[in-house]
Chains A and B, each alone.
Chain A
Amino acid sequence: MTYYAYIVAVFVLLTGVFGIVRSRNLIHTVVCLSVAQSGTYVLLLAVGYQRGVSPPVFGSPPVKPSTSVTDPLVQALTLTDIVVSATVTALLLAIAVQVHKRHGTVDPNELVALEG
């Protein structure tokens, strides 16, 4: 059990990549990339977790600050990760729209040649 969460992270990452490999639709490819990236959220949060402690937010009115909280640094990194994932997804979906317009298909197998 001591490595269970890390193994879940690796599994989610590889599942996402496998989805990209067998994808027949660019929208599906973009969603699979998001799934793969979700593996990194699981890994980051698992690294920062500690059993039986509170979250690193002391609130208002504040509870007495102590260092027996989960790791705030990896949680901040996860936030950055989610923002980057959302922006990349938006950009890739816009590219998928353009590919559909220019080539009339969203199947990556039918996009054989690059066009300038």
Chain B
Amino acid sequence: MTRTVRFVMFAVAGGAVAAMLLLGVLDLPHFGSSLHPYRDAAVPAAVAHATSNVISSVNFDLRGLDTLGEETIFLTSVIGVAALLRPAEDEDERTPPRGGRLLDMTRLFGYVFLPVTLAIGFITVAHGALTPGGGFQGGVVLGTGIHLLYVAGSYHAIEKVRPVEVLEYGESIGAAAFACFGIAGALVAASFLGNILPLGTFGELFSSGSVLYLSCAVGVEVASGVIVLLAQFLHQAIEVESDVEAANA
């Protein structure tokens, strides 16, 4: 298919999609209006379960099943990337080069912000039920934050602190813990992922029942998963030498 044909097809199909979407949008409640039936149902439900962060309550308590699906998607995609990026038979692994130039400011900022970023990651995971944040957000902060060591230090430094084999288990354990919470809820509270733990006082750290623990399980999974994921890409870029590159070298 030539580019011209493709552009014409896009113009027709895109125009039709735009027209239908705009027609649909015109029937929506006005932007910024006060009509939010789901909000009116979700907020009292979250408050009844002593969860300050209603979004976390939706994710980990009211609709925990969706989050189980979501983290399964994440787990599957990490496995998929690992399978796609494994070194092929005709590829050689090379020792990553040492040294390279690095600005002093980059190194300084990297090492200053490494502990700060990790602390923010832990806080975001642990306070997921109270303040904006939760397992997914904090997990990504933790998983990417540790790569400041690569930016400010070296590939050898990040390789030492990142036991990929252990983290692969960490990822599965996080996902399994979530599922176990679900089964425990089904046995005790007669609903999958039912909130079975003591609810505590609204607004305190150990409130909201299982939301805190589910948030931590997701945090472990996402942090491990992001590190494993980035390890595959870094390994691919730095350590794998293809035939093409070897021939050019």
Contacts and interface: CB of A to CB of B under 8 A. Distances in A.
Interface residues of B, number: 65
Given A6-B28, A22-B7, A57 B54 contact: yes
Given A3-B25, A5-B31, A59 B130 contact: yes
Interface of B is mostly: helix
Categorize the interface residue count of chain A. Answer: 35 or more
Nearest to B134: A79
Interface in A58-113: 58-62, 65-67, 69-76, 79-80, 83-84, 86-88, 90-91, 93-95, 97-98, 101, 104, 109
Contacts, number: 163
Contacts of A88: 77
A67 B43 contact: yes
Interface of A: 1-7, 9-10, 13-14, 17-18, 21-22, 46-51, 55-62, 65-67, 69-76, 79-80, 83-84, 86-88, 90-91, 93-95, 97-98, 101, 104, 109
Given A60-B127, A91-B81, 9 more contacts: A21-B7, A22-B7, A59-B130, A79-B137, A80-B66, A80-B70, A90-B81, A94-B233, A101-B88
B55 interface: yes
Contacts of B3: 22, 109
